[in-house]
Structure 1
């Protein structure tokens, strides 16, 4: 790691921990001190500090913008970074006070943030590293998330969305901090590249169905392909949409960290991470994306039960917060919203399945490279680790949504 950036990180960490009123701080960088993400850099930091006679230890993550002009400005990630910093520095603390003032528990399914930086060319979040507390992503390449995983995520989303709906009901000006509803994929380069990859994957799966002489899924996939770009743009622009709250916007496998009950080896807590794709929009767009991206037919057979759990949890939380569920988000609106946004997420099932079964990537993907190449294929790998499971997952979901007339 560059000495200059290391010095900056130490300074950011010390500033973030000022609220802890520590007497002495020693900052260390573990051997795996830096890892690269698609759109941000993650640096792991261990802190040993003294507070009077007490020794305190902190395992932290410093999430910072990529120092790349193409990513920052050509691809407009500067606004994306600012929005995530706003969420952690302003919106989440506001939600905590909002809930506590009404005698309701704050949202606790997001990592603790110690501090943020929002200055020219530096957009930084200093947050708790949950790995030492045995939180981990659900592994890719094997079975999909179990119903226990699904219920945890759905319950967490319901509470987050309830807070957003209550704010919209009681203090709507707060949402103006998110500005115009924008998503990181609204950028012209990313929009074109991502949509092309999604459409190509639908074609790839269609060819498998054709070889199997199974033509109904081909018809459905082609219709989704024809309408995908427009559906995507309508979602980003919230066309004909009245229910706008701050939603997560990137509900796929690696953006959830689960803690497990060691005795029974079942998940008992979830943390939602990576809010860079946050957007103002309908809450059911998150729910759709999560269910179709992270589940197989086995879990989706319980769709009615899952949606009922979501709405019951959301309604209970809204009542706690002093808002009327029948006014803010009644069951019939919830169901219609789910049906409206389902096709958009279903269209993404093939490419998300490839992400789950992608082979080893020789070169780390960098969004900046996609501007020159015109595609993001490197993000999705090449060879599939298990082509059979890849297709079975897609086939199961498609057959279920066809049976339920969701497409």
Structure 2
């Protein structure tokens, strides 16, 4: 028996009533909305409603609409392993309180519109538009993002982050209310909380051992004389007694660049416009899945995408230019939203670089998890559409998939880069 909400003809009509009241639905087709390895903390389904729409008295035309809806995993063990209830709650709060407050700032002066239309957001069910109908597609998670797409993502993040910084300047009381921990309207840190340390101990123990093994294997021959130094620094960061708390401190730190972060900036959460489809769309990329949204430094999002979604070669050739691209779009968006309170570009550039150095380790901590997932074959990934055996103990015993040759190269490149930049 199904344990979660399913869309019916009547519920779809109710969801779209405000936008399209003169519609009759005759058929619903449903399929999974993501494949294995594409989504971990919830289950996605795609529904296509078909019927007809009245355009004037007595005249109807064929009509159809696709909706994506998200529900909690059916298996209690899955929900507990992925902390799904807390993550789901976070996304509902983001769509219900945070995004409306940010979006209101850009009335008539848009800087970021890359959030899908949400029809419903409640504790166990989220329904939103299917962006595939507007020509947006997920990139291949197993291919590192190249500069062109990275620029799209960084421009989107610049606009998104600028909304937070402007809200802090223009409506400080509202920003404070939406960021105050443990209140109904505030997103919460869902992963890197000190009370989660024991819960994730096994997972990160395996992830850390895997990463050390990869770097031992992947260290280039010309670096052999630095092997001991490299492994010693990596060991110091991944030490079980300090790693998780370090990640908690980095996630929680507040400063002048504190914003609402997306929190999960990896390839599967970016939808790019298909160049083969003609559209008047103004956005080049949409951000999806705000379950891990947090309040923290904007560099947390940047470290996530730049250190976990691209290659060392791309960073070596383009890192400075990519950060300049982000910085330029951030300054433009801030001026658009709040021209009366200009910020000094050189000061913001210094702050940005300082935060990127500070948050480099955070990117590596995320990479322990993301790189094995993003490079593994789909059949190595957990399947949330299948039931799971209920676990009797309270520990999180799942582990990341083992890293192959590609993951070994990416992990090694990242560790060496952070050591070279004095971030590790």
* TMscore range, shorter length: 0.7 to 0.9
Instruction: Give the match for residue 409 of structure 2.
Output: 392
* Counterpart-to-counterpart distance in 2, 1:32 and 1:56: 22
Per-residue CA shift, 1:153-206, capped at 9, x if unaligned? Answer: 111000000001101111133342454163221362654344324322222224
The CA deviation string for residues 104-135 of structure 1, in whole angstroms up to 9 with x for no partner, is 1152212222x2142xxx43221111234443
The residue number in structure 2 matching 1:381 is 401
- Which of 300, 303, 309 aligns to 2:325? It is 309
Query: C-alpha separation between the residues in 2 aligned to 1:257 and 1:9?
Result: 27
Change in Cα spacing, 1:381 to 1:388, as seen in structure 2 (3 Å) is closer
Q: Indicate how the Cα distance of structure 1 residues 173 and 40 shifts in structure 2: closer, same or farther if over 3 A, else same.
A: farther
Residue 264 (structure 2) aligned to one of 250, 267, 271: 250
Residue 50 of structure 1: which of 48, 53, 61 is its match?
53
8 Å contact from structure 1 (residues 33, 44) kept in 2: yes
Which residue, out of 58, 62, 65, partners 2:69? 62
Instruction: Tell me the equivalent position of 1:40.
Output: 42
Query: Are the equivalent residues in 1 in contact too, given 2:199–2:395 (CA < 8 A)?
Result: no
The residue correspondences of 1:343-362 to structure 2 (distance < 5 A) are 343-359=361-377, 360-361=379-380
Which has the larger helix fraction?
A: 1
Task: Please provide the CA RMSD for this pair.
Answer: 3.3
| Correspondence for 2:190 | 184
Per the alignment, residue 292 of structure 1 pairs with: 307
In the alignment, the residues of structure 2 paired with residue 239 and residue 338 of structure 1 have an alpha-carbon distance, to the nearest angstrom, of 13
Q: Distance in 1 between matches of 2:147 and 2:13?
A: 41
TM-score, normalised to structure 2, is 0.80
Name the SS of the counterpart of 1:24 in structure 2: strand
Corresponding residue SS for 1:375: coil
Alignment of 1:2-401 (within 5 A): 2=2, 5-6=5-6, 9-20=8-19, 21-32=21-32, 37-48=39-50, 49-52=52-55, 53-67=60-74, 77-100=84-107, 103-105=108-110, 107-113=112-118, 115-118=119-122, 122-141=123-142, 143-175=143-175, 176-177=177-178, 179-180=180-181, 182-185=188-191, 186=193, 188=196, 190-208=199-217, 213=224, 215=227, 216-226=229-239, 227-236=242-251, 238-239=252-253, 241=255, 243-262=257-276, 269-301=284-316, 302-322=318-338, 323-326=341-344, 330-359=348-377, 360-361=379-380, 364=383, 372=394, 374-377=396-399, 380-382=400-402, 384=403, 387-401=404-418
What is the Cα deviation at residue 281 of structure 1? 1.0
Q: Which has the higher contact order (CA 8 A, sep 6+)?
A: 2
Gapped regions of structure 2 (runs ≥ 5): 182-186, 278-282
